[in-house]
Structure 1
């Protein structure tokens, strides 16, 4: 492993180490499965403190480039997707050309590296400075959405239950600290009413609702429908969407997974069941055995929602720059 550490640079040493390790992994100089020096060994090798190495390793692990195997050390990850050799060669040519032009302008190679790293860090930190709050009605969906949004958007995303807003545990002042607030279509009207003063409140995931609607359409208009979600807010929100869109003219019932007996009672009255993915997992055995038409409400992050939120985040970043 080759490293050039400039302790006089404005770029933090852990960033210098991370960038050079990343390059060596992507370049193929450190193939998949290569065992890296331990934190202690790397710190001694480079003459820096252990915390600096730990920070660089953690960032690379978060990016999926390295992995820690319990009691066995740190390795270059096996599933790293490397760029094609042709692309890498062209990229190196671009960098060399940029360095040549830099020298023609009177700047040194060291200044070029410092500025390039500074720009990278500024853009990375600018993205992390965008804070989003995701609001859902139940823990399983909330946790999944928060993870997916963080992975897709590369920003800080915190989760909050609707009940926490209703009970005042999440105050208006605390909500105001976030750059944007995101929820699903079914909860948007209620949430928008609760936090009127926040400008950036966005609804996502109309796709799963549309899928449910399309699957309901073939049934007779007067069919009775039973909606089952993890929490009451989810059940009522999905029920209200069906009512507002006038999809069915029959009775529409709603229940939560708090009581299997109540779910069974409602199922006996309904001809069609609309069940959220998380509720389906909760009472899997029952729903597999019940003799009813079941439509699964797949409440998962949609690609169209991701693209929309990426545009929103880009606009917010531009506003902060």
Structure 2
């Protein structure tokens, strides 16, 4: 298969996206057939002269889109069949490109030069869709915020743990995180051609109003999956009213005298062992509107520069 792939280092399209696009082309054109086995990520990376993580990322996206799947000892195989209607469109496109390609060859360009130029021009045409990754220390929060940004800005944002940036963000155009992790993310991005931006996460207003309405002396527990989240939510809630706010370790017992136990909305089961008299309230942060607008401006600038 690697003989059918042509990567361009000068293209504005990230390498992993070039692999995804070209594998899909080979499938849709019928050159890769349903059930056909693909080389491993390591083999393809060696053949193409790229990082194995880049190919692994491309394979992961192809799996998500139903183009390929991994079948244990059988390896990675094609699961999608050629789209005959799309094949006819590609035939028509081939007719349209035939004359410009002949003219480019007549000017002295080699077939590889023409292919790289076409790939670069196609990448510029699709530059309206930069590759964006949202990084957090918690998988649930990364997934939730990535989904929120995707829906609000109408683009695909891939979630990533900060510990997985080498695998998931090496070829992205924009790396987004929260201000708490900005310094850590920028240290990772230093020396790489990856732009970084931070967004503000604000607490849900309804939960803050609930805390503010509690009488003086009320006890509120905070139980999250990470120490950072526990501390952040504790500070938010402590500023919201006069209640005493304490952190309840995930592996510890929930005090029976709590009036309220705050748990992450993505993990309501953390409140399952609370006392019957303790009210359990799911809570989470939400992206600040001004931050989303700033992010939109950064993306617009990336598109203009592409």
Q: State TM-score, norm by structure 1.
A: 0.54
Which of 1 and 2 has greater Rg? 1
CA drift of 1:275 comes to 0.9
The number of aligned residues is: 266
1:114 Cα offset (Å): 2.8
2:200 paired residue number: 203
Q: Which runs of no fewer than 5 residues in structure 1 stay unpaired?
A: 44-48, 183-201
**Bigger relative contact order (CA 8 A; separation at least 6):** 2
Cα-Cα RMSD = 5.6
Aligned-pair CA distance for 1:22: 2.8
CA contact (8 A) 1:35 1:75 kept: yes
Q: Report the secondary structure of 1:33's partner residue.
A: coil
Matched residue, 1:230: 225
> Is 2:252 the counterpart of 1:264?
no
Distance 2:207 2:188 in 1: 36
Superimposed CA distance per residue, residues 141-166 of structure 1 (whole angstroms, 9 cap, x where no aligned partner): 5775796158799457598995997x
Unmatched 5+ stretches in structure 2: 147-157
Indicate conservation of the 8 Å contact 2:223/2:249, yes or no. Answer: yes
Conserved in 1, the CA contact under 8 Å of 2:130 and 2:173? Answer: yes
State how far apart, in whole Å, the 1-side matches of 2:233 and 2:41 are: 51
Q: Give the match for residue 149 of structure 2.
A: none
Distance 1:37 1:175 in 2: 30
What is the deviation of 1:216?
6.6
TM-aligned CA distance change 1:97 to 1:309, over 3 Å: farther
* Distance (whole Å) between structure 1 residues aligned to residue 238 and residue 159 of structure 2: 30
| 8 Å Cα contact 2:174-2:197 kept in structure 1 | no
Contact 2:5/2:19, CA 8 A, preserved across alignment? yes
The aligned runs of 1:81-160 (5 Å cut-off) are: 86=85, 89-90=88-89, 92-103=91-102, 110=111, 112-119=114-121, 134=135, 136=137, 139=138, 148=159, 154-155=172-173
Q: 1:175 to 1:70 in 2, by over 3 A?
A: closer
What are the within-5 Å matches in structure 2 for residues 294-309 of structure 1? 294-298=280-284
